[in-house]
Amino acid sequence: MSNPLADMEKPDLIFCIGTNMTECHPVAATRIKRALKRGAQMVVADPRRIPLAEMAELYLPIRVGSDVALLLGMAHVIARERLVDREFIDARTKDGEAFLEHVQQFTPEWAAGITGLPPADIERAALLYGRADKAAIYYTLGITEHICGVDNVQSLCNLALLTGNLGREGTGINPMRGQNNIQGAGDCGAVPANYPGFQPVHDPANGDKFAKLYGREMDGEKGITKVTALNRCGEGIHAMLIDGENTVVSDPDRHHCEHALRALDHLVVIDIFRTETAEFADVVLPATAWGETDGVCTNTERRVQRLRAAVTPPGEAKPDWWIVSQIAQRMSIAGFEFESAKDVFNELCGLSPIYAGLDWDRIEHGEYNWPVPHKDHPGTPVLHEGEFKNGRGLFRVISYRDPAEVVDDEFPVWLTTGRRLQAYHTRTQTGRAAGIDYLLSEESLEIHPDDLADWGIPDGGWASLRSRRGAIKIRARASNMSPRGTVFCSFSFSDVPVNILTGSGYDPVTETAELKVCPVNISPFEE
Amino acid sequence: MIAEVKPTATATLTLDGVEVSFTEGETIYEVAERAGREVPTLCYDARLEAFGGCRLCVVEVDGMRAPVASCTTPATAGMVVKTTTDAIEKHRRTLLELVASENRENEVDELRGHASQELKSLLDRYEVRGGRFAGRQSGTSNSTDDNPFILRDYDLCISCYRCVRVCAEQEGDHAITMMNRGFEKQITTEFNGILKDSACTFCGQCVQTCPTGALGDRKAMRAESLPGEVEKTRTVCPYCGVGCSVDLLTKEDRLVGVQPAMDGPANEGALCIKGQFAFDFVQHEDRLKMPLVRDEDGELHETDWETALDRAADGFKKAAGEHGRHAVYGVASGRAPHEAAYTMQKFIRAGFGTHQIDNCSRA
C-alpha cells in the first residue's frame, strides 16, 4: 500500500476495485465503514454484488476482465472535464501529454460496450473520483489475477497521477495483500528479479555486492518465475524445494501442476501438514507453525512486526530457517551458521537498504513501515511524499485487451473465483479449526436465480462445471451476488478442485495466472 | 500509532487539586485517564463513542449542581474537577451493588473474554458483595443459540450496550440490538433469532468488550477446566495481510484462545472470525511431527532428521551435478516468517549463483 491502514478512514472518495474486502480483509473493511459513516463516498467496481457494493454511493457491476476499459473511460472523462491536477502532472510526472492524447478516443460509450455498464455510471464514477480532494484506490487480486494484471495496476496508477492522488494522507494506490507475510517474502528477496530489499539482480553493482556477501559469482540475469518453472519440470528444472505452499490445490490448472511435480527427480516440501503437495515429495520436513515460531512478518502497509512463539512445537518440528540452513550446510554452502531467528533477521537488515534502520530489537513494538533507511529514520507510512523513488511518476499508454479466453457457444458462462470469509486458501488451517464447519461446511457455486432456472438446475442440486481443461462436480446455489451469466466459487475445498478448470492465461510480465476469468459450461450433473 | 495529532496543550483544568493540560475535544474522563486517575467505568470502551450509561465515572465539577458523567463531559478551561470524594465513592458503591445484585454470578473465568474481569475487579475494589438489592433480574440467557463461538449468557448482562455499540460502530455490522425496556431489556438479533441467521460475522468483538462475561468465547472456554494459569503472548495473526496484533492465550503449553490486542497498530483491537476463532490448526493431531522420506516401496515413511536432511541435500547436489546449477528451484512461503523466505533465497543464490527462486504470490 502506498498509504497506511489508518489512512483508510481519511479519504473523501474511496474507490474499491476487484476487492471483496469485507470477506478477505475484514478488519481493513471496518476502517472503510467508519470512513463512510464520517461522510466519505465510495465507488465499488466488481463483477459480483459483494457486500461492499451495498454500502457504495455507486456500484459498477463490470464484466469480468474489463477493468482497463472502465479505467480508460474514467480517465477520458477526468481529462474532458478538466479535473486533472496540472500542477502535479507538470511537477512530478512524465509522459502525461501522451496519455491525455491517448485517452481522448475512449469515451464512456466505448467503455460501456466492453464493461456492460451504463455510460452515465462510468461518467459519474469519473466525476466522483476526479472531484474529490482526497481519493484513495484499494484493490486486491481482482485486479492482478488477469492476463492484463500489470495493465490494470498501471491504469489505476494513471488515474492517481492524473488527479494528484498520491503522496498525501488519505490518497494513494493501495493493494491489499492476501497472505500474512506475502509482502515479507518479496522484501526478503524470494523473487527471481530482486535481491533482498528489491535490489534488482540485473544491476551489476548489486551482483558484485551479493557476490561478496554470499561468496560466489551471481548470475546477472533474473531467474524464471514459479509458473515457468512448473512448465519446465523435467526439462531444465529437476529439483524443487517448496516451503509452506500447497501448490497442487492453490495454483491454476491442477492436472498440469501434478504432472509437473511428478516430472521432478527430487522434490522436498517443508510444511506443517501433509498437504496434497507433500504427497508428491521425496522428502517432507516438518516445520514449526505460527504460535510456535519466533520471527518477523511485514503486513500490507509495509509494517514490520514480530511474531512470537507461545507453545512448544509437536514432535520434532523445526523452524523453516533451521531446516533450510541444515540442508545448505550439508551441501557445504557457506553462511548458514545461524543460531536464531534474530541472527537471520539481523543479517537481512544489514544488506537491505529498506531495512537498514531496523534490527530485531527495534521492531519489538511494530511501529515502523519500511523504507527505514537509517537508524534515526522514523519509517515511511506514506510513500511518494515529495518525490517518487525513480524521480517522476510515469504515465503508461495502455489499451484494452480481451481475457485469454472469452465466452462462446461451448463455454458461455464466466467463472470467477475468490475467497470466502470463513475459509482461508486451501483450508489446511481453517479446515482444521473447530466450529468453522458450522458456518461453511462445503463449497457451492453461486448462480443468479434466473440462470439457475434457465439451466434446469435445482437450488442446492448438483451441477457439472466444465472448462477447456477439465470438469468438476459442484453444488449449485442461487445467489443475487452473481450477475446473470457469471458464476462464482472459492478454491478452498479440496473436494471441489476448481483449479482443475482455471489457468487459461498468464500476465506476460508477472506471469500471474488469470484466475479471475474462466469461461465455463454448466449443466445439471448426471451420474 | 501513525499520524497522531500532536496535542497542542494550551488549556488547563484542575484535577484533584493538580493543574493538568488538555487538548480541545478531550473529555474529563480522557484527561483523568492520562493523568493516571483510575476512574471506574463499565460502559466505556476507548474505541467507541462515549455512552454515559453506567454512571460510575461521575465526578464533581465546581459550579455544577450534580455530579456529571466524566466520559461524556468535555473538558473546559479552568474547570475544577474532583474524581474521588466520599459522596462520589458512596454513589459508585451503591451503583455497583445494584449491578451485582442482578447477576446470577459475578465471577467468571478470564477465558470468557478480554474485558470479562472488569465488573469483578470493580466489585473487589469497592468491596461490594451482592445481594442487598436482590429481586427481579433483567436479561435471559439464550440457550438455543448453539453456535460454536459465542456464548450468550444474558443472565450476566448489565445493559451497558458495549456489544451493540462495538457491532455498530467498530464493525459496522449492526447485527445485534436492545429490545424492550426496564427488567424486560434483552440484547437480541433482528427477529430475536440466533446469530447465524443475523448479520453477525462472528468477529468476536462483542465477546471481547463485554465487561461481565455475559458474552463468552466458547472456544477458549473449553479450556476452563484445564490446570494452570492463563498466559498471554503478543504476536500477529496468521491469515490475511492486514497484520492484526493478537495475544495468544496459553495454559501449560496448550494454545487455548486468541484475544485482539487493543493497542495493535494495524487493528486497534479489531479482529475477524479467522483471527479470532481459527487458531486451533496449530496443535491439531494432523500436524507433521517427524521428517518423512519416500522409500523404495514408493511410500513416505517417518525417519530421523539426519537421514531426511541427507536425502534432501543429496538430491539437490545430484540434480545440479547432472543438469547444471539452474536445475534447482526454490518456492518460498508467503505464510512463513521472513527468516524462512530469507534463508530460502540465500540457499538458491549462495548455493547455485542463480535467481531460481519465487514465492506463492503469483497464484
Contact check, Cβ <8 Å, A317/B149: no
The answer to whether A144 touches A510, Cβ cutoff 8 Å, is yes
Contact check, Cβ <8 Å, A432/B281: yes
Nearest Cα of chain A lies from the Cα of B107 at a distance, in angstroms, of 27
- Chain B residues within 8 A of A248 when measuring between CB atoms: none
- Chain B residues within 8 A of A434 when measuring between CB atoms: 148, 219, 280
Q: Which of B64, B79, B74 is nearest to B17 (CA)?
A: B79
Contact check, Cβ <8 Å, A27/B286: no
Q: Which of B222, B248, B214 is nearest to B115 (CA)?
A: B214
Is residue A378 less than 8 Å (CB to CB) from chain B? Answer: no
Is residue A218 less than 8 Å (CB to CB) from chain B? Answer: yes
Nearest CB among B203, B355, B363 relative to A192 is that of B355
Residues of chain B with pLDDT under 50: 1-5
- Overall fold of domain B94-277: Alpha-Beta Plaits (3.30.70)
Contact check, Cβ <8 Å, A345/B343: no
pLDDT at B8: 54
The grid cell for A72 is: 480508460
- Chain B residues within 8 A of A239 when measuring between CB atoms: 315-316, 318-320, 327-329
The answer to whether A83 touches A13, Cβ cutoff 8 Å, is no
Contact check, Cβ <8 Å, B339/A319: yes
The CATH class given to the A5-176 domain equals: alpha beta
Contact check, Cβ <8 Å, B286/A273: yes
Residue A74 Cα to chain centre, angstroms = 23
Nearest Cα of chain B lies from the Cα of A209 at a distance, in angstroms, of 12
Size of interface A-B (CB pairs under 8 A): 499
Alpha-carbon gap, residue B170 to B159, rounded angstroms: 18
Indicate the domain borders of chain B: 11-84, 94-277, 292-362
The answer to whether B255 touches A308, Cβ cutoff 8 Å, is no
Residues 428-447 of A with CB under 8 A from B: 428-436, 438-439
Alpha-carbon gap, residue A216 to A222, rounded angstroms: 16
The grid cell for A183 is: 509482502
CA torsion sign, B341 to B293 to A425 to B243? Answer: negative
Alpha-carbon gap, residue A482 to A50, rounded angstroms: 9
Nearest CB among A182, A266, A431 relative to B241 is that of A182
Radius of gyration of chain B (CA): 27
Alpha-carbon gap, residue A409 to A108, rounded angstroms: 28
Best A30, A195, A337 member to test B by mutation, with max B CBs in 10 Å, is A30
Nearest Cα of chain A lies from the Cα of B271 at a distance, in angstroms, of 6
- Chain B residues within 8 A of A333 when measuring between CB atoms: 347, 350-351
Alpha-carbon gap, residue B320 to B332, rounded angstroms: 19
Task: Tell me which amino acid residue A78 is.
Answer: I
The terminus-to-terminus CA distance of chain A in angstroms comes to 48
Contact check, Cβ <8 Å, B316/A239: yes
Residue B178 burial by Cβ neighbours in a 10 Å radius (0-12, 13-18, 19+): middle
Q: Among all chains, which residue has been given the C-alpha cell 473546559?
A: B76
Question: Is the bond preceding A371 in cis, omega lying within 30 degrees of 0?
Answer: yes
Alpha-carbon gap, residue A292 to B148, rounded angstroms: 25
Contact check, Cβ <8 Å, A296/B339: yes
Nearest CB among A216, A223, A285 relative to B291 is that of A285
List per-block mean pLDDT (blocks of 10 residues) for chain A, which spans 527 residues: 96 98 96 95 98 97 97 98 96 96 98 98 98 98 94 97 97 95 97 97 98 97 95 97 91 90 98 96 98 98 98 98 98 98 98 98 96 96 89 94 96 95 87 91 96 96 96 96 96 88 90 93 92
Pairing of strands B80-82, B150-152: unpaired
- Chain B residues within 8 A of A250 when measuring between CB atoms: 360, 363
Pairing of strands A518-524, A462-466: antiparallel
Contact check, Cβ <8 Å, A286/B2: no
Q: Which of A8, A70, A18, A137 is nearest to A419 (CA)?
A: A18
Nearest Cα of chain B lies from the Cα of A193 at a distance, in angstroms, of 7
Nearest CB among B308, B329, B355 relative to A285 is that of B308
Pick the CATH number of A182-355 from 3.20.20.70, 3.40.50.150, 3.40.50.11030, 3.40.50.740: 3.40.50.740
Is residue A27 less than 8 Å (CB to CB) from chain B? Answer: yes
Q: Which residues contact A170 (CB under 8 A, 6 or more apart)?
A: A3, A7, A10, A11, A12, A134, A136
Interface confidence (ipTM) of the complex:
0.95
CA dist list (Å): B254 to A311, B207, B232, B284: 7, 21, 12, 11
Contact check, Cβ <8 Å, B339/A318: no
Is residue A286 less than 8 Å (CB to CB) from chain B? Answer: yes
Chain A CA closest to residue B329: A240
The terminus-to-terminus CA distance of chain B in angstroms comes to 33
What's B70's DSSP letter? T
Is residue A253 less than 8 Å (CB to CB) from chain B? Answer: no
Is residue A24 less than 8 Å (CB to CB) from chain B? Answer: yes
**B276-306, pLDDT tens digit by residue?**
999 999 999 999 999 999 999 999 999 999 9
Chain A CA closest to residue B354: A219
Is residue A41 less than 8 Å (CB to CB) from chain B? Answer: no
Nearest Cα of chain B lies from the Cα of A435 at a distance, in angstroms, of 5
The answer to whether B132 touches B97, Cβ cutoff 8 Å, is yes
Best B167, B231, B306, B331 member to test A by mutation, with max A CBs in 10 Å, is B331
Question: Residue A97 phi/psi, 5° resolution?
Answer: -65, -45
Alpha-carbon gap, residue A387 to A92, rounded angstroms: 7
Q: Which of B148, B326, B157, B168 is nearest to B221 (CA)?
A: B148
The grid cell for B36 is: 493516571
Nearest Cα of chain B lies from the Cα of A118 at a distance, in angstroms, of 30
Alpha-carbon gap, residue A512 to A492, rounded angstroms: 19
Contact check, Cβ <8 Å, B273/A422: yes
Contact check, Cβ <8 Å, A305/B236: yes
Nearest-10 Cα torsion for A229, A235, A236, A241: 50
DSSP string, A397-409: -------SS---S
DSSP string, A266-334: EEEEEESB--TTGGG-SEEEEBP-TTS--EEEE-TT-BEEEE---SPPSTT-B-HHHHHHHHHHHTT-S
Is residue A234 less than 8 Å (CB to CB) from chain B? Answer: no
Find out if CATH 3.10.20.740 is the number for domain B11-84. yes
pLDDT at A448: 98
The grid cell for A409 is: 457457444
Contact check, Cβ <8 Å, B312/A285: yes
- Chain B residues within 8 A of A439 when measuring between CB atoms: 196, 202, 273
CA torsion sign, A250 to A27 to B168 to B105? Answer: positive
The answer to whether A500 touches A253, Cβ cutoff 8 Å, is yes
- Chain A residues within 8 A of B335 when measuring between CB atoms: 179-181, 244-245, 290
Nearest Cα of chain B lies from the Cα of A512 at a distance, in angstroms, of 5
- Count how many Cα atoms sit within 13 Å of the Cα of residue B129 in the half-sphere of its side chain: 0
Indicate the domain borders of chain A: 5-176, 182-355, 413-524
Is residue A256 less than 8 Å (CB to CB) from chain B? Answer: no
CATH architecture of A413-524: Beta Barrel (2.40)
**Any alpha helices (H) in B23-150, and if so which ranges?**
28-34, 86-102, 118-125
What pTM was computed for the model? 0.94
Contact check, Cβ <8 Å, B351/A331: yes
Alpha-carbon gap, residue A443 to A461, rounded angstroms: 12
Contact check, Cβ <8 Å, B338/A295: yes
Contact check, Cβ <8 Å, A296/B363: no
Question: What is residue A92's three-state secondary structure?
Answer: helix
Contact check, Cβ <8 Å, B338/A345: yes
Is residue A56 less than 8 Å (CB to CB) from chain B? Answer: no
Angle at B345 between CA B329 and CA A205, to 5 degrees: 115
Alpha-carbon gap, residue A288 to B341, rounded angstroms: 14
pLDDT at B317: 98
Contact check, Cβ <8 Å, B351/A333: yes
